[in-house]
Amino acid sequence: MKKILVPIDESANALRGIQYAAGLARANPAVQLDLLHVLDPTKSRPYSALSSGELTRLAPEEFVRSMSAAREFLDAEGIPYEVHCRMGDPASQIIDHLAESAIAAVVMGTRGHGLMGNLLLGSVASRVVRYAQVPVTLIK
């Protein structure tokens, strides 16, 4: 079975990535989707002010919320998937997940900051493209 990693959050861009990956899975029954949500405690309010114990307690709530639309869509489509949650820098956690799992490809939504935005701000998607050892498809 080939696995496609789909990093997700609560954005419309992430849902477009799920829809695209679902199309790939529909076309090839040997494909399973790996959904990954990364909670970045340094950027998620109100999490940045919490202790690590409080953060660990609240993280599952955000995980369930971020996965709900994706799970509902995939369940309705009959697409097989697994869900994963990690905590830390999103790009680093995605790359780590790739290194630890038998992933054949990545499909991810991008916020579309553009070239100048990526140069100034950096981008999770651009870092994943740079460091992933598997093909990465970006969905805008």
Domains of the chain: 2-139 (3.40.50.620)
For 23-50, how does the pLDDT look when each residue is reduced to its tens digit (9 = 90+)? 999 999 999 999 998 888 776 555 555 5
The answer, yes or no, to whether residue 21 has pLDDT greater than 60, is yes
Q: What is the pLDDT at residue 68? A: 85
What's the pLDDT band for 94 if we cut at 50, 70, 90?
very high
Tokens at 136, concatenated: 């990465």
CB 53 within 8 A of CB 47: no
Nearest Cα to Cα of residue 9 among 36, 44, 46, 41: 36
Neighbours of 1 (CB within 10 A): 9
Which residues fall within 8 angstroms of residue 38, CB to CB, at 6 or more apart? 7, 85, 86, 87, 88, 89, 90, 93, 94
Sign for the CA dihedral angle at 89, 103, 69, 52 comes to: negative
Q: What is the mean pLDDT of residues 122-128?
A: 84
